[in-house]
Structure 1
Amino acid sequence: MKKSIVFFHPTAELYGADKILASVINNYKDYKKTLVIKSDGPLLKTVKAQYPDILLVVEENLPIIAKKNLTPLGIFAFLISLIKFKRNSKSLFKNGVSIVYLNTLATLPVLFFCSKSALKIVHVHEILSNNNILNKLLNKVAIKYSNVVICVSEAVKRNLASALPSMIDKLLLIQNGVEFVDKQKDGSKNYLNTEKIKFGLIGRIKPSHKGQIHLLNAINKLPKDILQQGHFYFVGSTVPGQEYMLDEVYHKIREYELSNSVTIIPFVEEIQVIYRNLDVVIVPSVFEDPFPTTVLEGMFFSKPVIGNRVGGIPEMIVENETGFLCERNDIEALSKSIQYFIENPKEIGSFGEKGKARFNHYFTIEKFNIRYKEGLSKFL
């Protein structure tokens, strides 16, 4: 009888963890596959195109751990979703499931509804600091009630290990890899219409995490003659219901009089068109970004990457070779890194080529699949 695996994932967009899930599924070709997700979105189209045999289930009652639940109304809604999911989960697990795969800690509640006999894998794409009691509890639950916890970076692994040192053997480091079909499509829109040096921040509009305001502060420090030689693109959208964050970004752009230097482009499914036309990728994360896919994507497209020294970013960028690393709150350093590429445009190609070489050596999808299969072999 064919083994079966059920994947659980919180979002159906095509940001970092969503893309990695599509790659993970490839390692279960011989399994009967089901993907359970909370809402419809572009990820489902991508997954169905790659894996026609997969069963897609949109479960609006999938219990998700999120900050918005930390209100009386949010807690009530979460409890209702638990009750409804418990009833609906019987059909998901009725024929016995070999593997239950939780992609991100947000889906952690599912652990308590699946069969004890199933192999439970939690793939952790986030860093929940153990300084917070609730975060530490979630980290402990993930380790204690699963069979294996996949960590996408050394930073993720260190954080989890500090939550429950006695079970460190369950922690498995598998750094991500990505794949792109770098092919120009006829009729593809040119989103970046300028002859200036083009810098791009690609990711959700979420200044408290992804650093859009932090980057604007750095741009504002550029000498005017330098600023006029570059243009900055913020590519991404807010989480539904958090549009006020976009308003904050626009407000700061107007305050600094940067409307002629900064362009915001909503989420683009055809993201390779953006990368291909950028000159430099900026990842100014101000939180512990575990292993941002945007760094790998920039390297794939032979672009230098400027990133903050947080989370897993230092594991990806080689300082002064494939890009620059700045301290989390060092606006001056970020501004000077940007200025360097504007003043030394010939260096952009050299940095980008070294980044591409590093990508090919460590971060291709083929290298990821090797790491993944070797790492999971003792559990499957």
Structure 2
Amino acid sequence: MNILILGTSSDLYGGSKILSIVAKILADNNHKPIVVLSETGELVDELNKLGVEVRIIRLGILRRKYFSIPGILNRINVTGKAWNVLSKLIDDEKIDILYSNTTGVLIGAFLAKRKKIKHIWHIHEIIAKPEIFTSVLSFLIEKYSHNIIVVSNAVKQHWEKHIRKQAITRIYNGIDTSIYGQNEGLLKEELNLNNNDFLIGMIGRVNHWKGQDYFIDIAKLILEQQPNVKFVIAGDAYPGNEHLVDKLVNRIENENLKKAIHYIGYRTDIPNILNSLDVFVLPSTCPDPFPTVILEAMASSKPVIATKHGGACEMIADNETGILIPYNNAQQSAGKILKLITNEKQLSEMGKLAKVRIETLFSLKMFTKSILNIINQTYDLK
């Protein structure tokens, strides 16, 4: 089958990584995926390595910064320009299925309807506000999808409140675990830390809910009890939101935390970073649907500490492969982490069990089977 995949971003964060895995699965199983992205970036390089065809066409991706009258008009204008180009692409390549990756790309739903081809919507998000946007988006997903995939039960439960006439299929993301935990991490050397320094880290987009500020709040409380612990934050902001990075860096500097908390920006050497950590933390203050970086940390045999909501509750076996912490109480969170980091035996056991858990529940083999089943099922729909 010829499958057109529309993506929202050309970075290599969670949703984009899953897009590349889906494209590879399709290519490896005698399908022809064509990926359309709005700009060049690391994802394009990754897809090129895989031999997957990529087209650059601005798709009018929805982001929070466009939630205004001028922003919506801008998105309509960009989407209108993309319509004819994509329509011709569908005809020329004889596309059988259109696959929209995340809710940020809307044009695929309308195009699939107009061209009378099947449409799959792969939803990675939990969107609760603004409520009017959630309602409109739910209507579009229900009306313009032949199959709906969600990445966790948390995401499924959220959208089932709004989408009642369409079946929603939960497929846990799966990743290739072979590239994780293979080599010794070099980040401590890069940061001029001692090899025996205890290093706690987080990786994620810098935004209003990923929890970088909450991470710092927790770190400060840990440092009061364990002043020799070190912390690292990796990740950048979406273009146009660089001020959030400036705010983060300024806070670290203004609160005299530069010796303890290291901000290293956007990185592609995720296995190296994870191999360097003693503990991985994802302190999202809003529900994170199914963070791929938790899978990567588990594959690296690291205990994972995450806030107790969203997909993390399904990924982590609390007190076995990691711990779940409150998303709004830094004092309690710091206390839980302090108990863990002083127990070397428990840390080691949690890391081993995390590796087993990902291979058991979130394997690439299971993900591959589920994606191919959805593709075939969608194609066969009348």
TM over 0.5: yes
Pair 1:336-2:335 in alignment: yes
Within-5 A mapping of 1:1-380: 3-29=1-27, 30-50=30-50, 52=51, 54-60=52-58, 62-95=59-92, 96-114=94-112, 115-129=114-128, 132-167=131-166, 169=167, 171-180=168-177, 181-182=179-180, 183-184=182-183, 190-194=189-193, 195-206=196-207, 208-222=208-222, 224-226=224-226, 228-380=227-379
* Residues 216 and 252, structure 1, Cα contact 8 Å, conserved in 2: no
SS of 1:201 mapped into structure 2: strand
Deviations 1:166-190 (A, max 9, x none): 32x2x11101111142444999995
Q: Deviations over 1:280-339 (max 9, x none)?
A: 000000112100011111100000000001211100011111111012212122211321
- Report the TM-score when normalising by structure 1: 0.92
Higher mean alpha-carbon deviation, 33-42 vs 184-193, is at 184-193
CA positional deviation for 1:221: 1.7
Per-residue CA deviations over 1:248-278 (Å, capped at 9, x if unaligned) read 2123323433221100111111211101111
Native 8 Å contact 1:284 1:307 kept in 2: yes
**TM-score computed with the length of structure 2 as normaliser:** 0.91
CA 109–215 in structure 1, closer or farther in 2 if over 3 Å, else same: same
Deviations 1:138-163, CA, capped at 9 Å, x for gaps: 02211221100100000111111110
Tell me how far apart the structure 1 counterparts of residues 222 and 322 of structure 2 sit (CA, whole Å).
Answer: 19
Q: Which moved more, 1:109-118 or 1:150-159?
A: 109-118
SS of the residue 2:378 aligns to = coil
CA distance in 1, matches of 2:325, 2:39: 37
How far off its partner does 1:219 sit? 1.4
Instruction: Return the offset for 1:238.
Output: 1.3
Aligned length: 371
In structure 2, give the amino acid aligned to 1:105. T
Stretches of structure 2 that go unaligned for 5 or more consecutive residues are: none
On the 8 A contact 2:10/2:41 being kept in 1, the answer is: yes
Unaligned runs of 5+ in 1: none
Contact 1:191-1:274 at 8 Å conserved across structures? no
Q: What percent identity do the matched residue pairs reach?
A: 28
Q: Distance in 2 between matches of 1:192 and 1:298?
A: 20
Asked whether the equivalents of residues 201 and 282 of structure 1 are also in contact (C-alpha less than 8 Å), the reply is: yes
The DSSP-based 3-state class of the residue aligned with 2:320 is coil
Report the 3-state secondary structure (helix = DSSP H, G, I; strand = E; otherwise coil) of the residue aligned with 2:105: helix
How far the C-alpha of 1:129 sits from its partner, in A, is 1.6
Structure-2 change in CA distance of 1:104 and 1:335 (3 Å):
same
